[in-house]
Amino acid sequence: MKYGKRNATSTFLLLFFLGLYLLPHRLNHPPGPKPWPIIGNLNLIGPLPYRSIHELSQKYGPIMQLRFGSFPVVVGSSVEMVKHMVWAPYGPYWRHVRKICLTELFNTKRLDSYEYIRVEERHAFLSGLYTSCGKPITVKDHFSNFTLNNITRIVLGKKLCDESESKKLKNMLDEGSFLNGVLNIGDLIPWINFLDLQGYVKRMKALRNKTDLFLKCELDEHIARRQDHSKEFIPKDIVDILLQLADDPNPNLKLSRDSIKSITMDLIVGGVESSTITTEWALSELLKQPQKFEQATEELDRVIGRNRWIEEKDIPKLPYIKSIIYETMRMHPVSPLLAPRLARENCKIYEYDIGQGTQVLVNVWSIGRDPTLWDAPNEFRPERFLGRDIDVGGQHFALLPFGSGRRMCPGYSLGLKLIESGLANLLHGFTWKLPNHMNPFDLNMDEVWGLTVPRKNPLVAVAQPRLPIHLYTV
């Protein structure tokens, strides 16, 4: 009996130590708040998620792990962490599309060839503004027409002249932006998704059908035009180029019809809203600080004079205008958490284990407010960029408004050109005032979260011409 008891004890110890040995090594996940069952840490995320995540990173550090419903999410909020995160590998489809964007759609030669479109649209935009001088206008509506016309001419080869057609597209973009920012409970708790408690899935499906129809019409029009001119056909817009690639025998360039549709929509969505809201934020910040406004117009008067508009080639001579744009992008990045990356396999960031399937977010908003990188980070001070060797091309990790690494914005040169000459001419051609003698101090600067982060209340202002009248007629 005694012998049997001793035997049982040693068998138990053997199994215990064997068990310990065979157990997977404890994973060292980044620190983070303890998740609740089902909702994870969603109770800690407010309507402006990048701000909530910023607050959490103050407590848990520059790399932290959260849980959104049942999904693990890792967030990097410092330059050091971001350097490791933005180069995460991504799938072959995106690699392919990205290569096409960079080599075929937005190379320097192609961008230069579209300059005449940007010039024509800029003149039309400024002349249109002139006709609205003296009365309060919603600045965003005018600027978004300018960017929409530029992008649709470059991508689709035409302006959506018909008012209802362009309104339809704008509504689709607004709905897409809204739905992108919502928290769909079913995505986080997949087993109740079929209930569609908030009705978002229904709205997403309706939007998908509308955009699909829009893109189908565009593609069919382009295909018909190609067939009409089959021999001497010269591609004139991005859809033409994509259709040409679809016929390419080289499998590295080949594209399906669905890919063409989705690239076309990504370019329209990515191009229109981001340039518009950056300009709206820049003008809002300047209206709040009239002395910075004066500094900008002083530079424009000194370098350009009052007898002509500003051309793209003038921009390098306007360092203060460039600084206003960088400072706006630092304080109001259009995509504060960048595009989410997915860890495709188990990996390590520093000493931390990141599990396969974890979503990786980069909080560029936090980096833009990091007091170790920026003096008085909550203040709009364009002059901080004067004489500083920094740009927004994805190499300076303290300032990443276009992202960085493998998923960096493919349209960044075009986006910058639209903002630089658009904003410079808005400031050069018009004096701007808030309506009804509003005190700049009272201008509300609240944000709203969607696909991008625009002003909650669109900026309304009154413009007056600043240049000789003959310059405003097209």
Pattern 88-127, ligand HEM, x by CB under 6 A: ------x---------------------------------
341 φ, ψ to 5°?
-100, 155
Do 188 and 42 form a contact (C-beta atoms < 8 A)? yes
Q: Nearest distance from residue 342's CB to ligand HEM, in Å?
A: 12
Least distance from ligand HEM to the Cβ atom of residue 291, Å: 25
Residue 336 near residue 363, CB atoms below 8 Å: yes
Nearer to ligand HEM, 179 or 408 (CB): 408
Q: What mask, x for binding ligand HEM by CB under 6 A, covers residues 53 to 92? A: ----------------------------------------
**Binder among 144, 275, 323, 363 for ligand HEM (CB under 6 A):** 275
Report, in Å, the least distance between residue 198 CB and ligand HEM. Answer: 25
Nearest alpha-carbon partner for 353 in 12, 3, 31: 31
Report the SS3 class of residue 445: coil
Residue 418 contacts residue 447 (beta carbons within 8 Å): no
Q: Is residue 139 part of the contact set for ligand HEM (CB under 6 A)? A: no
Residue from 117, 339, 347, 443 in contact with ligand HEM (CB under 6 A): 339
Q: Are 235 and 244 in contact (CB under 8 A)?
A: yes
- State the nearest-atom distance from the C-beta of 143 to ligand HEM, in Å: 11
Q: Is 411 in the site for ligand HEM (CB under 6 A)?
A: yes
- 421 sits near ligand HEM (criterion: CB under 6 A): no
Q: Interface with ligand HEM includes 404 (CB under 6 A)? A: yes
DSSP state of 64: E
Name the residue with the smallest CB distance to ligand HEM.
Answer: 403
- H or E element, residue 272: helix 257-288
How many positions of this chain bind ligand HEM (CB under 6 A)?
25
- Indicate the angle between helix axes 257-288 and 163-181, nearest 10 degrees: 80
Q: What is the dihedral of CA 117, 119, 120, 125, to 10 degrees?
A: 120
Q: Whole-number minimum distance, CB 444 to ligand HEM, in Å?
A: 23
Q: Which stretch binds ligand HEM (CB under 6 A): 40-48, 60-68, 282-290, 398-406?
A: 398-406
Taken in order 455, 378, 275, 77, is the CA torsion positive or negative?
negative
Annotated binding-site residue? 409: yes
Q: How far is the CB of 340 from ligand HEM (least distance, A)?
A: 8
DSSP string, 154-183: HHTSS---SHHHHHHHHHHHHHHHHHHHS-
Which range, of 50-58, 186-194, 214-222, 396-404, touches ligand HEM by CB under 6 A?
A: 396-404
Binds ligand HEM (CB under 6 A): choice among 48, 66, 282, 409:
409
Verify binding: residue 401, ligand HEM, rule CB under 6 A: yes
Residue 331: both structure tokens together: 């304080």
Cα separation, 456 vs 445, in Å, equals 8
Distance CA 325, CA 418 (A): 11
Per CB under 6 A, 336 contacts ligand HEM: no
Token readout for 120 is 């024509």
Please state, in angstroms and rounded to a whole number, the distance separating the CA atoms of residues 165 and 233.
27
Q: What is the per-residue binding string for ligand HEM in 142-181, x denoting contact by CB under 6 A?
A: ---------x------------------------------
Distance, in Å, from the CA atom of 279 to the CA atom of 214, rounded to the nearest integer, reads: 28
Nearer to ligand HEM, 35 or 218 (CB): 218
Using the minimum distance from each CB to ligand HEM, give the nearer residue, 185 or 280. Answer: 280
Tokens representing 297 are 């117009």
Full strand arrangement of the beta sheet holding 71-76: 63-68, 71-76, 359-362, 341-342
Q: Does residue number 407 form part of the binding site for ligand HEM (CB under 6 A)?
A: yes
410 binds ligand HEM (CB under 6 A): yes
Beta-strand relationship, 71-76 and 63-68: antiparallel
Q: Which residues fall within 8 angstroms of residue 146, CB to CB, at 6 or more apart?
A: 121, 122, 124, 125, 418, 422
Q: Least separation, in Å, of the C-beta of 61 and ligand HEM? A: 22
Among 57, 144, 278, 366, binds ligand HEM (CB under 6 A): 278
What is the number of other CB atoms lying within 10 angstroms of the CB of residue 405? 18
Q: How far is the CB of 341 from ligand HEM (least distance, A)?
A: 8
Binding footprint of ligand HEM on the chain (CB under 6 A): 94, 151, 266-267, 270-271, 274-275, 278, 334-335, 338-339, 401-404, 407-411, 414-415, 419
Q: Annotated binding site for heme: which residue ranges?
A: 409
